[in-house]
A and B are shown apart, each in its own frame.
Chain A
Amino acid sequence: MPLSPLITLSGVNKVYPLKGGPFYALRNINLVIEPGEFVSIMGPSGSGKSSLLHLLGLHDSAWSGEYTLLGEKVHQLDQKRRLDLQKKHLGFVFQSYHLLDDLTIYENLEVPLSYRNVPRRERESIVCDMLDSFAMVAKRDLFPNQLSGGQQQLVGIARALIAKPSLLLADEPTGNLHSDQGREIMRLFAKLNRDGTTIVQVTHSDENASYGTRTVRLADGMIVG
C-alpha cells in the first residue's frame, strides 16, 4: 500500500497588499513531498524560498490555498491546532542558528521538550542522549557564544531533532558556515535522511542541493522547476 504524502500544497498564494497593487511572494504553489524525501528549495534572492519554508513550518498563517500536512488540512485549522501540529511534527533549523544566548547548550536542547510538557526526568534523559549522539557532552554547560559557528549549528540541528519531528525544515543551514563546516552539516543531514527523517532545506548552493533527493526551483514566487 503506497504511503500518503507528507505534505501537499495546492494553489497556495501569499500576497502582500501594497499601494501599487498586490505583491505575490508565493503564487499558485502546488507541491507534494513524500515521507523520506530530502528536498532542496532553490532560487534567486526574493524568489519566495524562505516564505515557502516558513509557510511549511507553520510560522505564517497569512496565506491562501490548501495545505495538508500528514493528512491534516492545515488551512482549516485554527491557530491553536496549527501550533499543536507544529509542535508534534516539525523541527526547524535556522541559518543564524538562533540559539538562546542566555541558556546553556543543555538548556537550549531542553527548551522544545519543556514546551511539549515532557516530564523533567524524561527531558534529562532525552537531552543527554542527544548530547551524546552529537558528541557534545563536554559542552553541555557552555553558552552558545562559547562555541564556533559550526558547533552552534550542530546544537541548532540537535535542538530541531530533539522532539523527534516527522519533518526537518532548514533555512540555509550552512549559510553562515565556512565550506568544511558546511559539508559536515550536509553530511549529517544526509545521514539523518537515510535514517528516515524527511528534510526540506532552502539553499543557494548546488553542492548542498546535491545531498538531497529532489530540488524545487522558485522564481518570482512560482515553482519553475
Chain B
Amino acid sequence: MWQDLCFSFRLLTRQPGFAFIAILAIGIGIGQATTTFNSFSALVLRPLPHMEDEDNVVYLEQVQAKAPDTRLNLSLPDFLDVRARSQTLDRPTILMSRTLIIGTGDRPIRLYGTSISAEGFAMLGVKPHRGRLFHPDEDAPGAAAVVLLSHRTWRQHYGGREDLVGKAITINGAEVTVVGIMPPGFGFPENSDAWMPFINSEKDYPRGNHSFPVYARLKPGVTLDAAQAELQVISQTLAQQYRETNDGISISVQRLRVATTADIRLLMHLTLGAVLCVLLIACANVANLLLAKAVDRHHEVAIRIALGASRGRIIRQLLTESLVLGLLGGLVGLVLAVWDNALIIGTIPVDLPYWMNFDFDWRVFAFAAAAAIISSLIFGLAPALQITRNIALELKEGGRGGVGSPRAQRLRQLLVIGQVALATLLLIGAGLMVRSYLKIQNADLGFDPRNLLTFRVGLPPTQFTDKAQVRRFFAQLTPALAAIPGVEAAGAASMLPSNGIGLNAFSIEGRPRPPTLGEHPFAVAREITPGYLQTLRIPLLRGRDISVTDTIDQPRVLLVDQAFIDRWFPGEEVLGRRLNFGDHDTPEDWATIVGVVGTVPQRLEANVPGFNVYSAVDQQTNYFLTYAIRVQGDPLSYATAAQRAVISVLPGIPIYTVQTMERSLLMSYWHRKFFGRVFASYGLVALFLASLGIYGVMTYTVSQRTQELGVRMALGAQPQDVLRLVGRQGLWLVGTGLGIGLVAALALTRLMSSFLYGVSPSDPPTYFVLSFVLAAIGLLACWLPARRATRIAPMASLRGS
C-alpha cells in the first residue's frame, strides 16, 4: 500500500497539468458539497446547544381539518387544557414574545424578550451560567417579578457585573430581580435577550387566538405516536366542549428539530441533491481524464500483469492513485469550502437563530473525507476496470487495446452525456429559482416601497395600563414624525405588508353567523393610523380614508381592498356594509365599510392574495405599531430624528427593528435570493465542468483520428468537411445529454414548485433559453478541437503515424 501511495504521488508530480485539472475539478465539487453539507448539518444534525436529550423535546401545533397545510400556534386556554390533561407530556411550556425596555429618558434600550412558563428551562434541560432558573411558582399571578438575562445582555448592558444576580433592574418601568444569567450563546427560542415568567391570564387571550408556541418533553418511555394519540383524544374533547372555536381543530406534536426546520428542509434536500449532481459531474470529468490517460497507462499495466500482478492488485493500485487524487481534491475542497461558507453566511441578511452554528466541526471534516473517498471510487473504478480489461496480450501486440477500443470510447461518451444531462438539470433548476426571484422582485406590491424608513415602537402593556394614554401616544406621534424636516408622510399599521399575516375570522351583516370558527370567512385585519395609505401610496379607490376623527367614541369604520371584495362580495356594493370581527354580537363589535383601497398582496413569497381589511388604530388599542415614514434621500439617515420624535412625545420609549421598507421586503424573500444564488453557482460550475468534459472528449477523439483525418484531407476533404465530421459527433453528445437533462428537469423540478413565484416548474422561456445557452457552449467546446482538426497537415499526420 505504501508503495502504491508513493508511486501515486510520483505520478502526479510527473503530470502536473493533469493533476491540477483533476484536483481542481474534484476540489470544486467537494468544496461545494462540503459547504452545503455544513448548512445541512447546522440545521439538522448538530445537537441544539445547551439542551438535554433534544430528541424528546417536542413542539405542539394546531391544525385545521379544512386547511391541513396551515399550521397554527396554540391558544392559551387550549394550552392550559393540554397541560392539565396530558399524561404523556412533561412540563408543557408556553412562550410569548415581549418587548422589554431597559434604560430611561433619552437612552432607552429595547430587549427582545420572551415570556416562558416557569418550568420551561428545567424542561429543556438548560443550566444557568450564573444564579438559578425560575422557581415553579414564579409564573403564578402576583408572584414577584424576576428575569433571566442572556449572557450577551449581561455583558453588553451590565458590563458582566458579578453581583448582578439577586439585584433589581428596571424593566418596562418596574423593578425586576435578576435571578440568573443564561449560558453564552443561548437565546431560546431564537435570539432572546431576556426571559420572564409567563403569567397565565386566560381572560386576555381567548380560545380563538392561536398565538402561542408550545413546547414539552416526552415523559420517559413515551413515544411520539403515543403522545400524538393522547393529544388527538384531548383535541376531540376540546372540540366537543368548545365547538365554536375548536371544531375541526386538532393538536399535532413533532420533534423540536423537525418543527424548527420544517420550512427549509425540502429546500435543503434539493440543495444537497443539486450539489451532489455537481460532484458527480466533477467525478465524470476526472473519470474521463483518467480514461484518456489510460492510453499511456495501459502499457505499464500490461507489464505489471506480465510480472505477476493480479487484476485485483492492479485495480487496487489504480484506485490508490484515484484516492490520492480524491484526497488532494478533498483538501482543496475544504479550503474552498471555508471561503465559500464565509461568503454564503455573509449574504444572509437576517439574524440567524442562536442554535444555528455554521462553524466547521468534525462532521464537516468527516463528510469531506468521505466525499473524497467515495468520489475516488466513483471516478476511479470505471477507468481501472477499463484499463485492466483483456490486457494480457497487449505487450505482444504492442497495441492500445482496451482503452482505445470502441467500448472505452463509448464509456467516455456516456460520461459526457451524463455530465451534460446533469448540467442541464441543474441549470434549469437554477434558472427557475433565479427567474422566480426576479419575478418577486418586480412584483406589483400594491404600494411604493422606495424611500421608506420603517421601525417598530410601542408601550408595554404591563407598564402602560391606561389604554387612553396608549391611543394618545400614537395620535401625537404620527404628526410628530410627519413634522421631521425631509419627511413627506408618516403612518403606522399593526403590521406592515410582507411582515407576516394574521388571519381574523369575521361575520357579515345580513348573512347567517357560521356556528364554528372554521366556517367563518377570514381576512387579514390590520389597524392603521391616518396617513398610512398616503405614506405607502396605496390608492384609495372609492369612499374615504381613515381620519383623525375616527376615534374610540365614534362608530367603527373599515377599509377593504379590491381582493377582499372579489372574494367575499363579488359584484356587490360594499360601502355601507357592516362586518363583525369581534367575539360577540354587541353593537360596538360591528364596523362599517367606508372605503375601498388598492390590493396589497400578502406574503409575496407564498403568493397569497390580499383580503385586507383596515381599521382605525384609534378605535382599537394597539400597544405596538410599525411606523413607515416617507422621506427624501437615504431613509436610514432619519433613524435618529425618528427616535428623537418618539422621545419628544414620551421619554424612555425606544424604536427598534429600524430598516428601510426595501430591506424589510427583502427579509421576507431573502431565501429566494440566497438559494437562487446558490443554485445559479451550482449551475454555472456544472456548465463549466460539462463543457470541459465535452472539450476533453472531442480533443481526444480528434487526436485518435489524426491519421484518418490526414488521409481524408490528402484525398481532398475540405476543412468544412472535417469540421462537419468531427462536429457531428459532438452535436450528438450534446444533443443526447441535453434531451435527457430536459426530461429529467421536467420530472424533478416539480419538487421545487412550492418555492417558485410566478414561474411554473415547466416554464418554457427558462427551458428554451437555457437549452440554447447550453447547446451553444457545448458546441463551442466541440468546435475548438474540430477547428484544430482542420489545420492538420496531411503529410505530418501520416508521417507521425
Residues of A with Cβ closer than 8 Å to B?
50-51, 54, 57, 59-61, 80, 83, 86-87, 92, 94, 96, 98-103, 107, 110-112, 114-116, 159, 163, 171
The chain B residue with its CB closest to the CB of A171 is B396
**Contacts A54-B393, A54-B396: A102 and B14 contacting too (C-beta < 8 A)?**
yes
- Asked if A59 and B310 make an inter-chain contact with CB atoms under 8 angstroms apart, the answer reads no
Expressed in whole angstroms, the Cα–Cα distance for A80 and B308 within the complex equals 11
- Asked if A115 and B7 make an inter-chain contact with CB atoms under 8 angstroms apart, the answer reads no
- Asked if A98 and B306 make an inter-chain contact with CB atoms under 8 angstroms apart, the answer reads yes
| 14 A-B residue pairings within 8 Å (CB atoms) | A54-B393, A54-B396, A59-B396, A61-B392, A86-B308, A94-B303, A98-B299, A98-B302, A100-B303, A103-B7, A112-B308, A115-B309, A163-B308, A171-B396
- Asked if A102 and B304 make an inter-chain contact with CB atoms under 8 angstroms apart, the answer reads no
Distance in Å from the Cβ of A9 to the closest Cβ of chain B?
A: 18
List residues of chain A with CB within 8 A of the CB of B299: 98
Size band of the interface chain B makes with A:
20 to 34
Residues of B with Cβ closer than 8 Å to A?
3, 7, 10-11, 14, 299-300, 302-310, 313, 392-393, 395-396, 398
List residues of chain B with CB within 8 A of the CB of A83: 308, 310
Expressed in whole angstroms, the Cα–Cα distance for A83 and B308 within the complex equals 7
Q: A59 is contacted by which of B304, B306, B309, B398 (Cβ under 8 Å)?
A: B306
Distance in Å from the Cβ of A17 to the closest Cβ of chain B?
A: 16
Expressed in whole angstroms, the Cα–Cα distance for A114 and B4 within the complex equals 11
Expressed in whole angstroms, the Cα–Cα distance for A115 and B317 within the complex equals 11
The chain B residue with its CB closest to the CB of A58 is B392
List residues of chain B with CB within 8 A of the CB of A100: 300, 303-304
Expressed in whole angstroms, the Cα–Cα distance for A112 and B396 within the complex equals 19
Distance in Å from the Cβ of B710 to the closest Cβ of chain A?
A: 26
- Chain B interface secondary structure, helix, strand, loop or mixed? helix
**Contacts A100-B300, A103-B7: A94 and B395 contacting too (C-beta < 8 A)?**
yes
Expressed in whole angstroms, the Cα–Cα distance for A107 and B308 within the complex equals 15
Number of A-B contacts (CB under 8 A): 61
- Asked if A159 and B396 make an inter-chain contact with CB atoms under 8 angstroms apart, the answer reads no
Expressed in whole angstroms, the Cα–Cα distance for A186 and B11 within the complex equals 35
List residues of chain B with CB within 8 A of the CB of A101: 300
Expressed in whole angstroms, the Cα–Cα distance for A80 and B307 within the complex equals 15
Q: A115 is contacted by which of B11, B307, B396 (Cβ under 8 Å)?
A: B307
- Asked if A59 and B307 make an inter-chain contact with CB atoms under 8 angstroms apart, the answer reads no
- Asked if B300 and A115 make an inter-chain contact with CB atoms under 8 angstroms apart, the answer reads no
- Asked if B395 and A98 make an inter-chain contact with CB atoms under 8 angstroms apart, the answer reads yes
List residues of chain B with CB within 8 A of the CB of A110: 3
- Asked if A92 and B306 make an inter-chain contact with CB atoms under 8 angstroms apart, the answer reads yes
The chain B residue with its CB closest to the CB of A53 is B396
Distance in Å from the Cβ of A69 to the closest Cβ of chain B?
A: 15
The chain A residue with its CB closest to the CB of B394 is A59
Expressed in whole angstroms, the Cα–Cα distance for A102 and B300 within the complex equals 9
The chain A residue with its CB closest to the CB of B300 is A100
List residues of chain B with CB within 8 A of the CB of A61: 392
Q: B307 is contacted by which of A51, A54, A111, A171 (Cβ under 8 Å)?
A: A111
Q: B303 is contacted by which of A86, A98, A107, A114 (Cβ under 8 Å)?
A: A98
List residues of chain A with CB within 8 A of the CB of B302: 98
The chain A residue with its CB closest to the CB of B390 is A62
- Asked if A57 and B310 make an inter-chain contact with CB atoms under 8 angstroms apart, the answer reads no
List residues of chain A with CB within 8 A of the CB of B300: 100-102
The chain A residue with its CB closest to the CB of B306 is A92
- Asked if B309 and A57 make an inter-chain contact with CB atoms under 8 angstroms apart, the answer reads no
